[in-house]
Structure 1
Amino acid sequence: MMTPPKFWQEPDGARHPAARLLWPVAALYGFIGARKISAATPYRAAGPVICVGNVSMGGVGKTPFSLMLAETLQDLNRQPAFLTRGFGGSLRQPTMLGTQHTAAQSGDEAQLLRQQGPVVVAADRPAGARLIFAQTSADSLIMDDGFQNPSLHKDLSFLLIDAETGFGNGQVFPAGPLREKPAAALRRAQAVVFVLPDQSASVPDALVRRAAGKPVLRAWLEAAPVHPPGRRVVAFCGIGRPEKFYRTARSAGYDLAATRDFPDHHAFTQADLTALRALAGQHQATLLTTQKDHVRLPTDLQAEVETLPVRMQVDKQATLTSLLEDLF
């Protein structure tokens, strides 16, 4: 995975020489994407489709939010299933995920989703939806990502926005971090979710105004406190913004003796774990990683690495429940 250039997130990054140079490519990228969306005739699935998406490149918490949606639906006596592209996996045909499938085949997000309900991995979203409603008892479908994919009709779309980085320099890839212009994305969303670094953080007023009267939720990842507090760990991860994981680990009470970053969706090797073991030994610490990273570790080494379980929380559970109830 590429490391995003700094000018993508700088307030005046649109005026950066590289952004100006890349603007024609960005304009073409945006035009092709918008044209694809406007020209599509989406397939309508046999049940409600709930999309969890974002407008920027990289992760913002779509998988934890999807898991929380499934839990909420299950509390309403519904039976959701998940549809995901399986980013980073090798599966090429629509596949119902089973215990025999590894993260290398399905991608790491799919392995996490499987803990909460049936999962189909399919780049062809209509084919994946047909498989779900034909082979499971699901009465609804949660699509992790796919907001810019117009092939499947979406009954309810949540647009997740990182409250810290917002829309970056406001430019479409590769001149900026956006998959499309924010105004276009906001028009298609039924609800906006601002993802906070923690519960106490606020959302800039300028971002809230962009929601234009749509239902707004504030969400954050919460980790259970570690017992006893102050447990010494070497924390490592291969995610888009590793500092978010380290901050959450510290807030849960871990003492981070050292940290190590890997590329997003990194496929961990025996050599990686050997080096991490040595580092942990130097600090007399335990290894700690994210749930997403843990499923990508070599199976025989997973037992020696702790995970930091997290759950997505929202500030307006009643609003969220009402949006979901209206689908049925």
Structure 2
Amino acid sequence: MTLSNALQQAWYRPRSWSLCLLPLSWLFRLVAMLRRFYQQRLFPSPALPVPVIVVGNISVGGTGKTPLLASLVDHFIKLGYRPGVISRGYGGDHGDSPMLVTPESSAEQVGDEPLLLARHCPVVVSKDRYQAGLFLLEHTDCDLIMSDDGLQHYRLPRDIELVIVDGERGFGNRQCLPAGPLREPVKRLGEVDFVLVNGSDSGHEVAEQEVFHLLPIGLRDLKQGTVVAPQQWHGGKRVHAVAGIGNPQRFARSLKTLGLEPILHPLPDHHVFSGEELTFDDDLPVIITAKDAVKCAHFGLDNLWVLDVTAVLSSDVLTRLAKRVAKLNKSA
């Protein structure tokens, strides 16, 4: 078992040895508080001239952030906005300067999530999200900025904070890193504008939370490009499910809801794939996530499928969010 796996087990299934990490967690919280004070109070960055929405979380691991952000982008495009996304580009090697993601960009260069989001709108990656925002405004006609993660990147001024919570795993033992999965204490949710729970809203003691769901919309042959509706799948029930994401168990459960029997092969988040990891000694279909697909298309493998999903939010949440953005009206 790797150290990462051992820590995650301790976060969600209490282990006595994890108590030894509490002093480090207290230090982590102190440093985070000082950093926030330094960036927001002592040396705040000038506000950007368009509305800024931060879509992030207070815990590590997969929460469904990328498909939710893609759905929000599509929603605002339908409303007549020209949204753009800024991202850290985690897992990519893009240097210190902001970089606009293009169709020629690779996941190794800009990261997997930005490459996926760039199919919906302009995306700029940078270690400094504030500089990414300035670069995005300079090189595109964007009138609404959405930050992919970055809730704790307090150098970035923001108008709306939207936090995603994993409805299945919740907050674990409610401790900050490394003794627990939290980047900030749970009380931070009392300061944000929207709390969206992926799946179930039960048992997490968060006021005014809203639920959203990830809905499978199709299985796509990565090589051929053909799409099959979930109810029309004829590839057999037994499948290999390979996932390099923050919560691979959620991916497996999504496949089970379609009546499939996945053999799960979990890999680390932002994993760099090889063709051998997607090849098995049988003829069963192999299904991967859309986030992983941007790193695997060039393998040209047969019988490799992608589970495409979309995030479904209530019309009430979308309406309230749109009204908040309209009130800001910075671009007028």
With the length of structure 1 as denominator, give the TM-score of the two structures. 0.87
CA distance in 1, matches of 2:154, 2:310: 29
Q: State the AA in 1 paired with 2:157.
A: H
Cross-structure match for 1:117 = 121
Query: How does 1:6-155 map onto structure 2 within 5 Å?
Result: 6-10=9-13, 13=14, 16-40=15-39, 41-92=44-95, 93-155=97-159
TM-fit CA distance, 1:302: 5.7
Instruction: Identify which of 174, 185, 190 aligns with 1:187.
Output: 190
Q: State the AA in 2 paired with 1:320.
A: L
Cross-structure match for 2:258 = 252
CA distance in 2, matches of 1:311, 1:219: 10
Query: How does 1:212-227 map onto structure 2 within 5 Å?
Result: 214=208, 216-224=209-217, 225-227=229-231
Q: State the AA in 2 paired with 1:237.
A: A
Cross-structure match for 2:308 = 309
TM-fit CA distance, 1:299: 1.1
CA deviation map 1:256-294 (0-9, x unaligned) = 3x3322222111113323xx2x33xx2x32221100111
CA distance in 1, matches of 2:104, 2:235: 34
Q: State the AA in 2 paired with 1:193.
A: L
Query: How does 1:243-322 map onto structure 2 within 5 Å?
Result: 243-256=249-262, 258-273=263-278, 276=279, 278-279=280-281, 282=282, 284-297=283-296, 299-301=298-300, 304-314=303-313, 316-322=314-320
CA deviation map 1:1-57 (0-9, x unaligned) = 9324312013xx3xx433221111110111111111122214311211111111111
Cross-structure match for 1:199 = none
CA distance in 2, matches of 1:111, 1:307: 16
CA deviation map 1:100-147 (0-9, x unaligned) = 210011111011100100000011111100011111111001111000
Instruction: Give the secondary-structure state (helix, strand or coil) at the position aligned to 2:325.
Output: coil
CA distance in 1, matches of 2:270, 2:322: 31
Identical aligned pairs, as a percentage? 29
The answer to whether the 8 Å contact 1:90/1:106 transfers is: yes
**Inter-CA distance 111–304: structure 2 relative to 1 (3 Å threshold):** farther
CA distance in 2, matches of 1:302, 1:325: 46
CA distance in 2, matches of 1:162, 1:42: 31
With the length of structure 2 as denominator, give the TM-score of the two structures. 0.86
Aligned length: 305
The answer to whether the 8 Å contact 2:213/2:311 transfers is: yes
Q: State the AA in 1 paired with 2:36.
A: I
CA distance in 2, matches of 1:131, 1:176: 35
TM-fit CA distance, 1:227: 4.6
Cross-structure match for 1:210 = 206
TM-fit CA distance, 1:318: 2.4
Give the gaps of 5 or more residues in structure 2. 218-228, 327-332
TM-fit CA distance, 1:317: 1.6
Instruction: Give the secondary-structure state (helix, strand or coil) at the position aligned to 1:87.
Output: coil
The answer to whether the 8 Å contact 1:42/1:150 transfers is: no
Q: State the AA in 2 paired with 1:287.
A: V
Deviating above 6 A after TM superposition, structure 1's stretches of 4 or more consecutive aligned residues are none
CA distance in 2, matches of 1:108, 1:166: 25
Instruction: Give the secondary-structure state (helix, strand or coil) at the position aligned to 1:221.
Output: strand
TM-fit CA distance, 1:253: 4.2
Tell me whether 261-270 or 286-295 shows the greater mean CA deviation.
261-270
Instruction: Give the secondary-structure state (helix, strand or coil) at the position aligned to 2:268.
Output: coil
Instruction: Give the secondary-structure state (helix, strand or coil) at the position aligned to 1:308.
Output: strand
Q: State the AA in 2 paired with 1:285.
A: L
CA distance in 1, matches of 2:33, 2:234: 50
CA distance in 1, matches of 2:301, 2:140: 30
**Inter-CA distance 138–302: structure 2 relative to 1 (3 Å threshold):** farther
**Inter-CA distance 302–311: structure 2 relative to 1 (3 Å threshold):** farther
